[in-house]
A and B are shown apart, each in its own frame.
Chain A
Amino acid sequence: MNTRNKFYSLFFAVLLFCLFHSGNISAQFYSIRTNLLGLATGNLNAEGSMALSTRWSIHLPVQYNPFDLWEDAKLKNITVAPGIRYWMRETYGRGCFFGLHGVFSYFNAGGIFGHRYRYQGTAWGGGLSIGLARPLSRHWNIEFELGGGIVWADWERFRCAHCGRRVGKDSGLRLLPTRTAVNLVYLF
């Protein structure tokens, strides 16, 4: 078992432990969630959260995509986007929230939808988001979140046909969607 597989196994073990043994954890003011859209695109992700008060909460999402999609297409990245939320009604309650988050990502992506290049580099920045939470049961919520931000990126561009050959290097600010999520939330 190589290092990558060990990481995957550990990630899912932590996630399942949290889901099925949450009753034994005295952390009712915490939550863990995963972005279903991210999972659908092959991004393994989890987000831990803690309520600071009845209106504020802090969040730490982590995303990791180690997969090659098809041929030269890939969306590999490891991203951390810590942030805080202000809840209009109550933390984790029904209603809207606004979020402020930072982003750090190491990415290796390209060849998607016929794009000829692959980009590899790092990015960091910050953004704002808005979302809506709906309680499903005592412990489960579903959230919809959409946000964007300014990201400074530094990347190298490679031709996919010759993935090892760098054809360019660039950096700069980009206005990007930094949050697109349909989160399934478990409350402790």
Chain B
Amino acid sequence: MNKYLKSPITVVALCTGILLTVSCSTSQEPKTMRLFMQSKRPNISLPHNEGISPGMLAEQSEFTTTSDTMPPAPVETPDSADDIWRTVHLNNVSIVAARTVIKQVTARRGSVRLEFDIHVPSVLIDSCWRVTLTPMLNTSDSVSSPLLPVVLAGSDFIKMQEADYKAYDLFLKGIVDPSAYDSIYLDRKNINRDIARRQNLFYDLYGKERGRQMAYEHWKRLALDRQNYWNMRMQTNRTTLRHRLERKRIEEGVRRYVTGRDTFGLSAVYGRKYRRTASFWPKYRMERKLTASRVPSKYRALYVSGRTMSDIRNHTLSAADSAEISSHRYFFDRIAENEMNDRNRDLIRNRIIPFPYIDSVMNRQTALPGEDYVYNYVYTLPVTEGMKKLHLRLESIIEATDRSTWRPAASDTLLFVVASLSDLIDRSLLQQFIVTPPAGDSTLVSGDSITAEPTYSPGGAEYAEGLRLLQEREYRKALPMLQAHPDYNTALCLTQLGYHDEAIGLLKQLPSSARTKYLHAVVCARKGDDQSAVIYMLDACRMNPDLVLRIPLDPELSDLIPKFYGLRKELDKISEEGV
């Protein structure tokens, strides 16, 4: 006994049994159980080459990453009206991002290109589940809309989906169209039985009538045979009687004649004797006749109608009879089941396919367990009026083949602040309309920013409203208010509306400044006058070196840098000198 217990085979068998037992005992645990025992999560971040990419956006995008695990909340960022092309200081990390979208679009019809990386740690990747990563874009404080998701499905999960779809396809193929009921749900066996039963009925009816007719004819034949025979015998009896009496009369007459007696009246005597005898005894008088009253009741109708064997009408099974029988011989239980399946095909689809394919995805990929997954997500969003900030967060869900799920902690939030040429507004021009400066602050307007709300003249209030609308990118509304006081801001508004010639005409009339030359450069670039654009751009940067940092945000000017040899170096030089 101990020898067997100590043998290696026994030990291996025991270990295998224990392993199987353990695996079976844990088979009821959800497959996502191990996800609850770790702290990794899918996250979003900016691409690593964010800083080195030259700015070629029609719009300026600025973002911040906030490490938080709370439900997404808009992170307070500085107003975009501030010096937006500079680095904006956010709560944690602030990076100026420049994205390339469309070059030749105006700010009015511009769009912003959002680019970010989605990171999924390897611990969250498994062959038996699917990771669905849905970026949620919030263009305002309340409205949040999902972008196309990225789906990372494991091989086993994909196999399960394929098997589910195959099963559902089989289910759909099992649903029979009503037009095919006749070929599939017709109960042919019972129809044949019904038809055979009907044919037997018709045959039995004919057989009964035939038997009745034969019995009647047999009876009639026998009855007539007897009747004729008896009538013949009666006639024979009468004739025999008559002739016997005649012979007697003759003999009597001869005897009387030879003896000399009178023979008168002898015929009358024998005549009376004949009539008396013939009328008394039935065998001389009883003539039989076949009448309806002497026919048995069961044959009387046949006798009266005179029906013959060929008059018997038989029934035949017609096509209409077959159709009528068939119309009530379907597998009605299977039809009801089929119609129920047809009605509930959506419910059944949900039951068979718990995890359907996600139709619209940004990317669908088979997960490779053991490796981190990074996806560079690029999304182009049209810029609408008033769009300043874009909050982006990532919602994720992991769905396993055993239908267990796991939702990770909230991801970081990316905040994109959208900027445009309208950020080049010169608010210092509003200073001329100030009537009464607000008390307690000697310097109300500092540079391009307004720190307090002063009191303006009537024309100044309208001009201030125009600037506000210009900042909100409502250029068409802003233009009439700004046209009353043609200046740099008016030229900026004309530029944004695409009135380039009018903008150039106005810029030429304005005093030379860094802003006017920069705007002139943009307009010239848009008009295709690259040479003039470079000249104006360099003049502007020399007057205000900070504008070098602005160039990557304006694709009209950033496109010029690779076209002109040494321009990059010249701009870097101006920037260094400015610092």
Which chain A residues have a beta carbon within 8 Å of chain B's beta carbons?
A: 26-30, 50-54, 89-90, 93-95, 135, 137-138, 187
Q: Count contacts on B: residues with CB < 8 A to the other chain.
A: 20
Q: Name the residue on B nearest A87 (C-beta).
A: B294
Question: What are the residues of chain B within 8 A of A53 when measuring CB–CB?
Answer: 282, 286
Compute how far the CA of A26 lies from the CA of B293 in the bound complex, rounded to whole angstroms.
28
Say whether B240 faces chain A, with CB atoms less than 8 Å apart. Answer: yes
Ordered nearest first, which 9 A-B pairs have the shortest CB separation?
A: A28-B233, A29-B283, A29-B282, A90-B294, A89-B294, A51-B282, A28-B230, A138-B225, A135-B222
Shortest Cβ distance from residue B238 to the other chain A in the assembled complex, whole angstroms: 11
B226 in contact with A54 (CB, 8 Å): no
Which chain B residues have a beta carbon within 8 Å of chain A's beta carbons?
A: 219, 222-223, 225-226, 229-230, 233-234, 236-237, 240, 282-283, 286, 288, 293-296
For the complex with contacts A54-B286, A138-B222, A187-B226, 9 further pairs of A-B residues with Cβ separation under 8 Å are A26-B236, A26-B240, A27-B283, A28-B237, A51-B282, A51-B286, A53-B282, A90-B294, A93-B294
Compute how far the CA of A26 lies from the CA of B283 in the bound complex, rounded to whole angstroms.
8
Shortest Cβ distance from residue B301 to the other chain A in the assembled complex, whole angstroms: 16
Question: What are the residues of chain A within 8 A of B293 when measuring CB–CB?
Answer: 89
Question: What are the residues of chain A within 8 A of B237 when measuring CB–CB?
Answer: 26, 28
14 contacts across the A-B interface (CB closer than 8 A): A26-B236, A26-B237, A26-B283, A29-B283, A29-B286, A51-B282, A52-B282, A89-B293, A90-B294, A93-B226, A95-B296, A135-B226, A137-B222, A138-B229
A93 in contact with B223 (CB, 8 Å): yes
Question: What are the residues of chain B within 8 A of A54 when measuring CB–CB?
Answer: 286, 288, 294
Shortest Cβ distance from residue B270 to the other chain A in the assembled complex, whole angstroms: 19
B282 in contact with A26 (CB, 8 Å): no
Compute how far the CA of A93 lies from the CA of B229 in the bound complex, rounded to whole angstroms.
13
**B interface, by DSSP: helix, strand, loop or mixed?**
helix
Q: Name the residue on B nearest A51 (C-beta).
A: B282
Compute how far the CA of A29 lies from the CA of B233 in the bound complex, rounded to whole angstroms.
9
Compute how far the CA of A54 lies from the CA of B293 in the bound complex, rounded to whole angstroms.
12
Question: What are the residues of chain B within 8 A of A29 when measuring CB–CB?
Answer: 230, 234, 282-283, 286
Q: Name the residue on A nearest B299 (C-beta).
A: A94
Compute how far the CA of A93 lies from the CA of B286 in the bound complex, rounded to whole angstroms.
14
Question: What are the residues of chain B within 8 A of A27 when measuring CB–CB?
Answer: 283
Compute how far the CA of A138 lies from the CA of B236 in the bound complex, rounded to whole angstroms.
18
Compute how far the CA of A135 lies from the CA of B226 in the bound complex, rounded to whole angstroms.
10
A28 in contact with B229 (CB, 8 Å): yes
Question: What are the residues of chain A within 8 A of B223 when measuring CB–CB?
Answer: 93-94, 135
Q: Name the residue on A nearest B232 (C-beta).
A: A28
Question: What are the residues of chain A within 8 A of B233 when measuring CB–CB?
Answer: 26, 28
B296 in contact with A94 (CB, 8 Å): yes
Shortest Cβ distance from residue A31 to the other chain B in the assembled complex, whole angstroms: 12
Compute how far the CA of A147 lies from the CA of B294 in the bound complex, rounded to whole angstroms.
24
Compute how far the CA of A28 lies from the CA of B234 in the bound complex, rounded to whole angstroms.
8
Question: What are the residues of chain A within 8 A of B226 when measuring CB–CB?
Answer: 93, 135, 138, 187
Question: What are the residues of chain A within 8 A of B230 when measuring CB–CB?
Answer: 28-29
Q: Name the residue on B nearest A137 (C-beta).
A: B222
Compute how far the CA of A57 lies from the CA of B158 in the bound complex, rounded to whole angstroms.
106
Compute how far the CA of A28 lies from the CA of B281 in the bound complex, rounded to whole angstroms.
11
Compute how far the CA of A50 lies from the CA of B280 in the bound complex, rounded to whole angstroms.
13
